[in-house]
Amino acid sequence: MKWYQRLPVKLAILFYITFALTVISFAIISIWAIRENTHRSVRESLVFNANFWESYLKRESALVTPFSQEEHALSDFATHFGIRLSLIDSAGLVLFDSSVPQNQLKNLENHLSRPEIQQSLKDLFGENIRKSKSVDISLFYVAKHIPGTIYIKDLGNVSFIRVSYTLSSLNDYYKTYMIVILVVSILLLVGGIVIYKYLADRFAEPVLKMVNVARQITKGELQERIEVTSSDELGFLGKSINTMAEKLVEDIKKLKKLERVRSEFLANTSHELKTPIFTIQGFVETLLDGAIDDHEVNRNFLLKIHKNSIHLNNLVSDLIEISKIETGELKMNFEQVNLEDLIDDVFDSLVDKATERGIHLETDYQTSDMKTWADPVRLRQVFTNLIDNAIKYSDQGSVTVHAEKTRYNELKISVSDNGVGIPEEHLGRIFERFYRIDKHRSKDLGGTGLGLAIVKHILEAHHTKIKVVSKPGEGTTFSFTMIIKPVSSPELEMEDEE
């Protein structure tokens, strides 16, 4: 990663640009604000002066004092106030200017076109900022129009009083202020850099640690973890990365387990398929070699071929069935099922097999309400497999289906036998595919090793789990619970009312 692509560098650049723009904006706004405030103050002062001179001239003109006696007083007053005073007639001629000697007034241009004079004709007061040609300095002008004029002896009629203020002092103040702003801005930038460096070191360090840990995790070092020391967003991110790493470890374990299961499944499937195929192939080859002409042998071989072909067909059917269930391809069609009728149908289909082995099929219902919410086809498969297994692994006695309601308003179903039982070390694995406790007996009885795995998956699709309790020589009991009806089912409520 290049240096300018690193997160701290990007954050630093972003911070410096943002902070610099903020400081510059602050300086510009501050200078503009003080300029506006100063100009407003100067404008108000000049307006006050114009009003003062209007009152003064009106009072002095009433005394009919010759202007020659007032000229020095006006100049002294203007100098004292720090302003320039001009008296202008209605034609734009300058009658008096505190900054220009009387004998030089004739050299001045006509002032009627001056912006402040023209504005005062409309708004009473007019203002303008510009460089004066007569005194060669920048001035802030304010002119006041005297609608009735003021007559001054030996001078004439005054129609405009114009006062102005030199901006040189203001400009010096602006320069001083700008220097102060510049110094403050530099100090702020330096201080910001120091503060950012401190904060960057404090906050970037855990981020960089997270990046390093994440990089190690991507390399496969899943034992790496982030030390979480805060409860803010960084802490949450650290916990999330740790959780992700833990899940990755779990997922890898699951994948390895699935890979192992897949390998075992393929090996078991190959073995299970090869056995009947090789058996059939062997008998067929023997028949083709001449045994087909031996009537005592060929029928026996054909019966064995038939038996193995049935076993092969059952195995393939179970493989297809469990594959569909596990991949979700096989969808459940739920409806309200009467368990009593379903179990009776299963008993009818297995009664001959049970009779042959001297097994009696029984029911023990502790409730009259045997309705449940299930897929009837799949649930029939569950009972068929469980009862058929019970018959296969019992040499005498009975197989009993027990049903009762639980305190959670569910049906608890159990299938019990008093057969050979299951040793404790096998109980945790009997629901695995192709797992057999007694392989020879299972094959002799036509078992595929997939029946209980199918039962487990079907019941899980019904949101329930199967349990098993068994003792060798005493028998085995498989049990599970079924919901009576789904939550919020208006159709079922109407059926119940009927």
Percentage of residues in the chain having pLDDT higher than 90: 24
Average pLDDT over residues 242-267: 75
Q: Which fold has domain 331-497?
A: Heat Shock Protein 90 (3.30.565)
User: Lowest mean pLDDT: which of 103-117, 125-139, 307-321, 403-417?
Assistant: 307-321
Whether domain 254-322 has CATH 1.10.10.10:
no
Cα Rg of the chain (Å, integer): 54
Quote the pLDDT of residue 496.
43
User: CA-CA distance, 20 to 185, in Å (whole number)?
Assistant: 8
Cite the residue boundaries of each domain of the chain with CATH code 3.30.565.10: 331-497
CATH 1.10.287.130 domain range(s) in the chain: 254-322
Q: Average pLDDT of 192-204?
A: 71
Strand partners, 160: 88, 145
d(CA 24, CA 173): 19
Token pair, residue 13, equals 């650049």
C-alpha span between 217 and 212 (Å, rounded):
9
Backbone angles phi, psi at 145, to 5 degrees: -85, 130
Report the pLDDT value the prediction gives residue 268, as an integer from 0 to 100. 62
Superfamily name and number for 8-174: PAS domain (3.30.450.20)
φ and ψ of 300, to 5 deg = -60, -45
State how far the Cα of 460 lies from the Cα of 325, in Å rounded to an integer.
10
What is the band of 271 on the pLDDT scale with cuts at 50, 70, 90?
low
Residues of the chain with CATH 3.30.450.20: 8-174
pLDDT band per the 50, 70, 90 thresholds, residue 498: very low
Question: Who wins on pLDDT, 429 or 272?
Answer: 429
1, pLDDT greater than 80? no
How is residue 482 written in tokens? 């079924």
